[in-house]
Amino acid sequence: MRSFTKFDLQYAHRFYGFKGEAQYLHGHTGVLTLEVEDSVNTGVNMVFPCNEIQKTAWDVLKNFDHALILREDDPLLPAILGVYEAQGIKNGTPQNTMKGEAFKTELATAYPDSRLVVTKETMTVEGMIKIVYDLLKDKLNIVKITFTSGVNGATEEYEAKNDIARCPLCGIALNENGVCHKCGYKA
Ligand SMILES: [Zn+2]
Ligand SMILES: [Zn+2]
């Protein structure tokens, strides 16, 4: 069976080099849907608790919310960083608190202190799906990701791996030592 959960992400971006209005900086509320598949965990009677999917994914996805997403070769990037630097906000402020944990993958690097994500490819809805799968594929048994932003939408399906060990009492993923961080159960 599948569990799924949704996230709203408000972000600014542009398509650098694109011949259309999207080459201008603009914003969206994107909706990301993550579908996770596994057997129904006996006793817990869930595939995976949705609040745990939320928590696991949001730790990473927070980086895209109220953030600027630019491609690595976009000349706006040094320009904006220059302004943030001059203003003294490039390396964060005490008010910049809703931050995700910084990450770096082949496809994207998050700089939570300046609320910026730098991408290798243009951040289209398709691009976002690739980035998110890469970030979460080892943490959640993702079988489908859908992302919509304005009139654009894309969806991709993945092979179910079903190899994430879950706590028989809470249904959440066990850590690398086989321990449940919620109830302390040990496999
Ligand atoms: Zn756009
Ligand atoms: Zn547990």
22-37 residue pLDDT tens: 999 999 999 999 999 9
CA of 13 to the centre of ligand 1 (A): 6
Please give the distance, rounded to the nearest whole angstrom, from the Cα atom of residue 29 to the centre of ligand 1: 10
Residue 173 alpha carbon to ligand 1 centre in Å: 35
Radius of gyration (Cα) for the chain, nearest Å?
Answer: 18
Ligand nearest to the CA of 18: 1
Give me the domains of the chain, ranges plus CATH numbers: 2-157 (3.30.479.10)
CA 72 to ligand 1 center in whole angstroms: 17
Query: Which ligand is nearest the CA of 178, by number?
Result: 2
Judged by its nearest atom, the ligand closest to the C-alpha of residue 127 is 1
- Indicate which ligand has the atom closest to the C-alpha of 185: 2
Task: Kindly report the pTM of this predicted structure.
Answer: 0.91
pLDDT tops 90 at residue 178? yes
Instruction: Say how many Å lie between the CA of residue 151 and the centre of ligand 1.
Output: 10
Q: Is the pLDDT of residue 162 over 80?
A: no
Confidence of residue 46 (pLDDT cuts 50, 70, 90): confident
**Phi, psi angles (nearest 5°) of residue 116:** -135, 140
Average pLDDT on 169-180 reads: 90
Lowest mean pLDDT among 39-43, 54-58, 112-116, 134-138: 39-43
- Rounded to the nearest angstrom, the distance between the alpha carbon of 78 and the centre of ligand 1 is 20
Ligand at minimal distance from the CA of 181 is 2
CA 161 to chain centre: 20
Mean pLDDT of the 150-158 span: 95
Distance CA 15, CA 110 (A): 18
Q: Region 111-120: what's the mean pLDDT? A: 97
CA dihedral sign of residues 12, 15, 19, 24: positive
